[in-house]
């Protein structure tokens, strides 16, 4: 007998559950964060501990929907360029390694955006690095200060979260763009929290979680 979904052979006559490792999309009813996985502890959102519900198939269309996704890609592209340049300029090996992992993380985020919203990921660019990120974040750039790089990165994520949050509030209730902006705001808040944790561990002399 073959599994009707993955077509792998099934042994034995007993009742079966197949494809148990399938990745599902879940959306938090409280913060809007979209998470991917087969199951989560107690069915709770990993960001805010809210209640998760399965997210079925959906289409991203319309000018507002595509604009939300486009802006998200712009932010991820800028973040990738920032971390790539910061990794090259950092003087301490541990910091170079950490920012290189952040750059890889941004690539993973773009892959997730592409898969989740059915949009082709743009090519990464090295044209926007530390200086432009500092301008976007509204923080002065001090290349010789390792903590300054963290603060620029955190401020960028926080500014992006605030932007998406404002767009969410402005969008019509129940609209697809409102849901999109809420999801994107939650993603940026999660990124800011991760970076804040990494900064705290760096200042305490502990290895990064990544």
Dihedral class, residue 205 (left if φ above 0, else alpha if ψ from -120 to 50, else beta): left
Give me the tens of pLDDT residue by residue for the chain, a chain 210 residues long: 565 555 566 565 555 555 555 678 899 999 999 998 888 998 999 999 999 998 877 667 677 888 888 888 888 888 888 888 888 888 888 888 988 998 998 899 888 888 888 777 766 555 556 767 777 777 777 766 778 888 888 988 898 899 999 999 999 998 888 999 999 999 999 999 999 999 999 888 887 777
Q: Which residues contact 168 (CB under 8 A, 6 or more apart)?
A: 32, 178, 181, 182, 185
Q: What is the CA radius of gyration of the chain?
A: 20
Domain ranges within the chain, ordered by starting residue: 24-54, 63-203
pTM of the complete model: 0.74
- Nearest in space to 205 (alpha carbons), one of 164, 162, 146: 146
Fold annotation for 63-203: Ferritin (1.20.1260)
């Amino acid at each position: 007998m073959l599994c009707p979904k993955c077509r792998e052979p099934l042994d034995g006559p007993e009742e079966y559950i197949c494809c148990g490792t399938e990745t599902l999309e879940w959306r938090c009813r409280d913060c809007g964060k979209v998470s991917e996985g087969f199951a989560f502890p107690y069915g709770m959102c990993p960001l805010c501990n809210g209640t998760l519900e399965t997210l079925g198939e959906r289409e991203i269309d319309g000018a507002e929907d595509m604009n939300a996704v486009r802006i998200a890609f712009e932010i991820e592209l800028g973040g990738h360029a920032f971390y790539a340049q910061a990794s090259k300029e950092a003087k301490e090996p541990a910091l170079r390694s950490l920012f290189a992992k952040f750059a890889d993380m941004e690539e993973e985020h773009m892959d997730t955006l592409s898969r989740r919203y059915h949009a082709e990921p743009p090519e990464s660019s090295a044209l926007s690095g530390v200086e432009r990120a500092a301008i976007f974040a509204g923080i002065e750039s001090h290349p010789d200060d390792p903590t300054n790089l963290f603060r620029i990165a955190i401020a960028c994520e926080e500014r992006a979260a605030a932007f998406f949050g404002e767009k969410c509030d402005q969008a019509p209730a129940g609209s697809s763009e409102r849901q999109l902006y809420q999801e994107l705001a939650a993603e940026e808040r999660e990124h800011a929290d991760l970076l804040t944790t990494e900064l705290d561990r760096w200042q305490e002399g502990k290895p990064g979680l990544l």
